[in-house]
């Protein structure tokens, strides 16, 4: 299996994986109970809190696809109650705890940790601060918890190179969302106010950004052999990552 094939196969699992744990009722309940903040504030503060107590404009920049006013509201709400770094530690802990519930320790889980960790550690971090921030988060010693965190780090890598690719082709965040796979429904999810622009004029640029993203996301998989890349994809399928 080539690096490009592996990255494409993993992409289809990382997106749903991230949504599953970030939208979990368990995470929402724990954020409210343990930190006193709501789920949207937990998302922005927990996700970007790996960068520390940065200006909200920096958060908007690294998250890339949210309206500035939305980021301002949720970051400020969360920041009034919790230090960003503390929120990030809690958020990564929630991620690992859900992974522990999902995957009992096993040879498959331990092997997938080894493979994913090699890819994560081989990735170039230049220009990708959110990815690097997550990569620097403490990694649990147990295999299931470690796997949960590493999968999210790998998801942040693809998300970060995608944000860079969108910027490189000259697309704005709303135009990129509308022209993308989920269209206006995704714009609503990201809380962009209507009306939305027509998608058609922006699709060629979005496709160019997708090509750049795919190329960049594939690079760290070169650290693995062809057989190891195939094993990584097979293990994700066997463990139903996604």
pLDDT at 214: 97
Is-above-0.85 flag for pTM?
Answer: yes
> Considering the chain, what percentage of its residues have pLDDT values greater than 90?
99
Residue 181 has pLDDT above 90, yes or no: no
Given pLDDT bands bounded at 50, 70 and 90, which one contains residue 159? Answer: very high
User: 31-47: b or e for each residue (b if 16 or more CB lie within 10 Å)?
Assistant: beeebebebbbbbbbbb
Q: Is the dihedral of CA 208, 242, 191, 52 positive or negative?
A: negative
The CA distance from 172 to 217, in Å, is 21
Task: Compute the mean pLDDT over every residue in the chain, rounded to the nearest whole number.
Answer: 97
Q: Which DSSP state fits 180? A: S
pLDDT tens for 88-138 read 999 999 999 999 999 999 999 999 999 999 999 999 999 999 999 999 999
Instruction: Give the span between the Cα atoms of 17 and 35, in whole angstroms.
Output: 23
Residue 237, pLDDT > 90, answer: yes
Q: DSSP character for 128?
A: -
For residue 46, the model assigns a pLDDT of 97
The Cβ-side half-sphere exposure at 192, using a 13 Å CA radius, reads 21
Domain ranges of the chain: 3-238
Reference 24, options 83, 102, 122, 77; nearest CA is: 102
Cβ within 8 Å of residue 30, ≥6 positions away: 90, 94
**Where does 80-182 have alpha helices with state H?**
84-102, 107-122, 129-135, 143-169, 173-179
The pair of three-digit structure tokens given for residue 179, joined into one six-digit string: 């022209």
Quote the CA–CA distance of 50 and 61 in Å, as a whole number.
14
The DSSP code for 222 is G
On whether the CB atoms of residues 146 and 179 are closer than 8 A, the answer is no
CA distance 146 to 150: 6
As a whole number of angstroms, the distance between CA 127 and CA 124 comes to 9
* Nearest of 124, 144, 158 to residue 16 by alpha carbon: 158
């Amino acid at each position: 299996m080539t690096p490009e094939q592996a990255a494409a196969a993993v992409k289809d699992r990382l997106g749903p994986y991230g949504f599953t744990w970030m939208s979990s009722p368990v995470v929402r309940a724990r954020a409210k109970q343990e930190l006193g903040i709501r789920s949207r504030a937990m998302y922005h503060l927990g996700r970007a809190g790996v960068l520390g107590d940065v200006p909200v404009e920096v958060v908007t920049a690294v998250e890339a696809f949210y309206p500035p006013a939305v980021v301002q509201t949720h970051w400020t709400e969360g920041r009034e109650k919790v230090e960003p770094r503390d929120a990030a530690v809690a958020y990564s802990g929630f991620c690992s705890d859900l992974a522990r519930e999902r995957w009992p320790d096993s040879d498959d889980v331990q092997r997938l940790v080894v493979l994913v960790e090699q890819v994560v550690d081989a990735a170039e971090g230049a220009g990708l601060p959110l990815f690097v921030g997550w990569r620097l988060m403490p990694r649990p010693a147990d295999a299931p918890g470690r796997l949960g965190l590493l999968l999210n780090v790998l998801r942040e890598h693809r998300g970060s190179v995608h944000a860079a690719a969108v910027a490189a082709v000259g697309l704005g965040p709303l135009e990129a969302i509308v022209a993308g796979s989920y269209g206006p429904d995704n714009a609503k999810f990201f809380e962009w106010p209507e009306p939305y622009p027509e998608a058609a004029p922006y699709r060629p640029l979005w496709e160019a950004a997708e090509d750049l993203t795919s190329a960049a996301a594939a690079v760290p998989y070169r650290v693995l052999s062809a057989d190891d890349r195939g094993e990584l994809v097979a293990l994700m399928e066997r463990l139903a990552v996604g």
